[in-house]
Structure 1
Amino acid sequence: MGVAFNPYDFYEVGSDPYPVYARLREEAPVHRNDDMDFWALSRHADVVAAFRDPSRFSSANGPLLERRAWGPQAQQAMSFIAMDPPRHTRMRRLVSRVFTPRRIAELEEHIRAAARHHVEAAVERGEFDLVADIAAPLPTDVISELVGVPHENRTELRRLADLSLHREPGTQEITREGADALLRMVGHFAEIVAERHRRRRDDLASALLDAAADEEPLTDAEIIAFLHLLVGAGNETTTNLIGNAWYWAWRNPAQRDKALQGRVSDWVEETLRYDTPAPTQLRTLTEDVELHGVRLAEGARIVLLPGAANRDPRVFDRPDEFDLDRDTSQKVSFGSGPHFCLGSSLARLETRIVLEETLARIRGFDLDPTRARRPHSAYIRGFSALPMSVTPR
């Protein structure tokens, strides 16, 4: 029997997808799932080539498999990650003017203050849920402050973002509660944009309204979609990266010792390679393509698996070992090419600061995997709960 891959099999693939990924790379580098109508690419070279070829591997139908989410309407919620050039080029250029590395760097003081607040409270208790007490609220605070979300709405937006990504076992479609959550999130951002039309503030929503000084400005719908993308994807990526970093350091004592000695940047980068928070993306073919002797027809849905590519032994030596000393420069955790993740610098910065602030206050830590929970989602990999205990300094 050949290898089978269902990204919504939360009990088999969701708990540990890497044995399936290994079989896909070796036995079926172009894998067909007839029931869900997609092909999957798992080898590093193929995933990178697809990321860098937007003319044939189109993003215009969005990055999600669900039939309700897949299609030209995807851009309404997914912004420019559901666009191809030239619309993607224009949108990304305008957004990049205000979402710059310099602006991200200027957030460090605010991020560190927020991290200290959450970390100190958790460490003082000694036992806590890493996700609920640190990994989830920190990026919510940071992104909300950046965007201009009022304090009283931030916890609710986080809850709505989680609901929109949740999938019930046995189904790949968004739940009724998830669909309602999406609409309510859009409503929140529409209110913010309408208020900024009346009065500008020092936040991203205001800056986006003024981004185009010499060309056609962003529409309200484009700004709302980008804010929705940023709050949803930005929160989830950082939350799961933080949880994965602590989990894999705990599972690998020799690497944990290196991490506790302050190898924070290496810790973050190896976590991104070893267990990326975003293991799955979707593209749509604009023309017939032949790959590994298999003909893929125009219109085919192509699932790209950066999570599998990051453990391809053709690129990474001993790929299934968590090793802070390795060269991770060829990982594709944030994509590649024109759709390379615009928020990658922010996710790295937030994660690094959380790890630094926690390490400064503890001598050691332990996790309780028996009480850990993972989210039911094909698009994010991490933890929705991760009990942790620490030994304070």
Structure 2
Amino acid sequence: MTITTELSDVPDLGDPETFRAGVPYDVYDRLRALPGLVWQPADYGTLTGGFWLVTRYDDVAEVLQDPERFSSRFGSVYPLLNPTGDGPLSMQIVHQDPPEHSRVRRAAAKSFGPRVVANFESWIREVVVQTLDDALRRERFDWVLEVARFIPSRVIAQVLGVPLDRRTYIVDATIEIFKSQSLDDGGATFVEQCMKVGEYLTQLGKEKLLNPADDMTTVLAQSLENGEIDLPEYQLYAVSLLIAGFETTHTTIAHVAHLLATDPAIRSTAARALEEGKAGALVDEFLRYITPAMRFARVATRDTEIGGQAVKQNDVLQVVFSAANRDPSAFPRPNEFDPFRVDPKPAAGTGGAGMVFGAGPHRCIGHVLAKLEIRILLEELLARKVTLSMEGQAVRGASGVVNSLTALPVSVAVG
């Protein structure tokens, strides 16, 4: 059994500001090559004064697929948002373990299956076309504000059945929820922001019961009325769907444009993949290469071992997707963008995008929808022969959870 000491020359990976300069892939390469795990001290946000960094693909998969040993109950991200394990967020699906998690997830899973989402293609393409039509009228604009923000917000709002006149509110509220995740207040602001949106979605659910529609809020409201879930679970699950449905796609669409505007090799490879009918593999590779959600957290339920490392009960483990998706044991030549890569080694049930949507019981329920949005956008950009160029510097956000781009000034040539 290996015990790895702290490394003094590793940057503070608990500080969101560390990520403003970019994802520290070189640091992750060093950590991944070490035996055991590396311990990062932390002054707040954990239960035992720090956290273990889990950077190898197989170790990340093992943690995520074993909720009996590694619980989500205290929080799914760092800083822990439910540190007592029994706070208001205990009713949110991302902070539940089976069997409670399984019961709540079933309430909406039928509405996110591949067959159902496949029927979304026509109207999602309309959303993408409308968004590009509006944005491309100008030669210069901020891609994040005009494209990356609008496509997923319009899509998830329609999936939830949010009326047109409330969709701007939903987008703004979602962004505020993400900002509150990094605050050192034991999750208080996060809870407050979630409950505000939850109250709105509760009222929307009441309206859907009177006038049912083919949308997620109707499904959840009916599950609430039938007693399958209770009111806090309804509110917090609806908020979770909103957050997950917006941010992963929003972040990916921003980075896709940045890569297309700055890397001629990726631009050429992407066009070739689309022309050769490899759109699915291309989307998976963009997701792996970008890894929009960089890491999640779990708490050890007992003394155990992972990756040869002794772990104590209540220790926090940060499972680092950004590191796992650059693990050469899982992806040959992991730092190269290659949608034609042969025989990657994704964990069971994660799909070709690798560790992007998670694994085990908390695997993202909306992963098929996210991939559909990205594929349609790539197809429409190719069909229009859009060429993006940078008109300034991309601006990164300060977040240890989301691989955030907050601004992307671009110029556009069409045809």
TM-score by length of 1: 0.90
Residue 333 of structure 1 aligns with an amino acid whose one-letter code is V
Q: Deviations over 1:141-188 (max 9, x none)?
A: 11111112121111121111112212699x655898766533321222
User: Partners in 2 of 1:237 and 1:13 — Cα distance?
Assistant: 18
What is the correspondence of 1:183-222 to structure 2 with a 5 Å cutoff? 183-211=195-223, 216-222=227-233
The one of 328, 331, 336 aligned to 1:313: 328
**C-alpha RMSD over aligned residues:** 2.6
Question: C-alpha distance in 1, partners of 2:324/2:214?
Answer: 40
SS of residue paired to 2:374: helix
**Aligned match for 1:256, one of 261, 264, 267:** 267
SS at structure 1 position matched to 2:412: strand
Greater CA drift, 235-244 or 160-169: 160-169
- The one-letter code sitting in structure 1 at the alignment partner of 2:372 is L
* In 1: Cα distance, 2:214 partner to 2:90 partner: 24
- Choose which of 159, 171, 190 in structure 2 pairs with 1:158: 171
Q: Give the superposition deviation at 1:73.
A: 5.0
Shift of 1:29: 4.6
Q: Is the 8 A contact 1:47 1:304 kept in 2?
A: yes
Matches of 2:81 and 2:63 in 1, distance apart? 24
2:351 alignment counterpart: none
Alignment pair present for 1:343 and 2:366: yes
Alignment check: 8 A CA contact 1:248 1:271 kept: no
Relative distance call for 1:13 and 1:6 in structure 2 (3 A) is farther
Cα distance in 2 for partners of 1:307, 1:205 equals 32
Question: Is contact 1:126–1:390 with CA below 8 Å preserved after alignment?
Answer: yes
Aligned residues: 390
Look up the SS of the partner of 1:371 in the other structure.
coil
In the alignment, is residue 66 of structure 1 matched against residue 72 of structure 2? no
What TM-score do you get using the length of structure 2 for normalisation? 0.86
Structure 2 portions without partners, runs of 5+: 1-7, 44-49, 347-353
Displacement, 1:379? 1.3
Residue 353 of structure 1: aligned partner: 376
2:264 counterpart letter in structure 1: P
> Aligned match of 2:340 in 311, 319, 325?
325
Deviation at 1:116, TM superposition (A): 0.5
The answer for the alignment partner of 1:384 in structure 2 is: 406
Distance 1:346 1:155 in 2: 21
Note if contact 2:90-2:96 (Cα within 8 Å) is conserved in structure 1: no
- What does the per-residue CA deviation read over 1:10-35, in whole Å, with 9 as the maximum and x for residues that have no partner? 24565232112112212365121222
Check 1:313–1:138 CA distance in 2 against 1; reply closer, same or farther (3 A cut): same
CA distance in 2, matches of 1:391, 1:174: 47
Tell me by how many angstroms 1:211 deviates: 4.4
SS in 2 for 1:346: helix
Structure 1 residue runs of 5 or longer lacking an equivalent are: none
- The equivalent of 2:108 in structure 1 is 95
Q: What one-letter code is carried by the residue in structure 2 that aligns with 1:252?
A: D
1:233 lines up with 2:248 in the alignment = no
Report the 3-state secondary structure (helix = DSSP H, G, I; strand = E; otherwise coil) of the residue aligned with 1:3.
coil
2:92–2:233 Cα contact (<8 Å) kept:
yes
When residues 360 and 4 of structure 1 are mapped into structure 2, their CA distance, relative to the original with a 3 A threshold, is same
Deviation at 1:380, TM superposition (A): 0.9
| Percentage of identical aligned residues | 30
- Give, in angstroms, the shift of residue 5 of structure 1: 4.2
CA contact (8 A) 2:35 2:308 kept: no
User: Helix, strand or coil for the counterpart of 2:67?
Assistant: coil
